[in-house]
């Protein structure tokens, strides 16, 4: 999916159904921005030193708070698998 997608062309500004691949786990502010953007999944390979995902991996992580109107799934992968995952994602 990209800017040539029909949803984007029809003024769909949210990233509903999109996956994001990051080298580093998002922090609290990035995690909330991803909630607002309606990201489907976050895949990252390096844990953040500042708690990451807004809660340090515990039950208060921003992406899984029951009080938000959207939640996304987050996955940490090992670096070797991350490169393969990125390559496969680009081919879709």
- The whole-model pTM stands at 0.68
pLDDT tens digits, one per residue of 18-41: 899 888 888 888 888 898 888 999
The region, left, alpha or beta by phi > 0 then psi within -120 to 50, assigned to residue 56 is left
C-alpha closest to that of 36 among 26, 25, 46:
26
pLDDT tens digits, one per residue of 9-21: 665 667 888 899 8
CB–CB of 49/68 below 8 Å?
Answer: no
pLDDT tens digits, one per residue of 45-90: 888 776 677 655 555 688 878 888 888 888 888 777 666 766 666 5
Pair of tokens at residue 14: 């949210």
């Amino acid at each position: 999916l990209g800017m040539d997608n029909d949803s984007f062309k029809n003024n769909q500004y949210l990233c509903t159904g999109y996956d994001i691949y990051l080298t580093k786990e998002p922090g609290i502010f990035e995690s909330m921005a991803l909630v607002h953007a309606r990201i489907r999944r976050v895949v990252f390979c390096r844990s953040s030193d500042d708690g990451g995902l807004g809660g340090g991996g515990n039950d208060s992580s921003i992406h899984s708070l029951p009080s938000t109107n959207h939640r996304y799934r987050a996955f940490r992968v090992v670096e070797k698998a991350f490169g393969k995952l990125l390559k496969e994602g680009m081919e879709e």
